[in-house]
């Protein structure tokens, strides 16, 4: 005995675009757009004012990014972190004690390994420097370094320009 399929008349054919289940009506763009314009002047944040070296690094880095026309308001925190990491990397043991990164034991020896703290700071400064486009590889990636003109290149070898 064979069963026959019976189609009900309740199904209505819908023409047009097929949407995924749960997609529903398209929503309005509710995400607020932030003003991400380029910054031409920046002041040193309060968090860095007690550290002269970090303040100097912040000023140098921000001036480099302003000159390259890359500094946006969203980059300020990264520049701060970069400046702080550089200051920790080059800090002496008494400066690290002042920053509360190193504690002394009863004999006056540091409890933490100074090299490990400096290594962490180095990793941070490399990461933030790369994100900001401060190292040569990230400059290439972001297109900041212009390729040499085609007429300057020689097909014979890379060292032919020294001949």
Burial of 71 (0-12, 13-18, 19+ CB in 10 A): buried
pLDDT higher than 60, residue 161 = no
Q: Pull the structure tokens for residue 85.
A: 């990491």
What does each C-alpha distance from 102 to 35, 82, 90, 120 come to in angstroms?
Answer: 40, 20, 14, 13
So what's the pLDDT on residue 85? Answer: 96
- Give me the pLDDT at residue 8, please: 60
The reported pTM is: 0.65
Asked whether the beta carbons of 39 and 73 are under 8 A apart, the reply is: yes
Distance between CA atoms of residues 45 and 27, nearest Å: 39
pLDDT in the model for residue 137: 84
Residues 6+ apart with CB under 8 A from 23: none
Sign of the C-alpha dihedral, residues 152, 154, 155, 158? Answer: negative
């Amino acid at each position: 005995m064979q069963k026959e399929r019976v189609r009900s008349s309740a199904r209505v054919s819908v023409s047009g675009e097929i949407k995924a289940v749960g997609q529903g009506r398209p929503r309005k763009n509710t995400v607020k757009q932030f003003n991400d314009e380029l910054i031409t002047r920046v002041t040193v944040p309060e968090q860095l004012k007690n550290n002269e070296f970090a303040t100097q690094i912040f000023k140098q880095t921000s001036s480099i990014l302003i000159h390259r026309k890359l500094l946006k308001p969203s980059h300020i925190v990264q520049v701060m972190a970069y400046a702080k990491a550089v200051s920790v990397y080059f800090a002496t043991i008494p400066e690290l004690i002042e920053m509360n990164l190193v504690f002394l034991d009863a004999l006056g020896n540091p409890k933490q390994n100074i090299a490990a703290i400096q290594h962490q700071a180095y990793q941070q400064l490399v990461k933030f420097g790369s994100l900001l486009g401060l190292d040569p590889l990230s400059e290439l990636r972001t297109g900041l370094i212009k390729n040499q003109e085609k007429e300057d290149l020689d097909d014979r070898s890379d060292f032919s320009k020294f001949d």
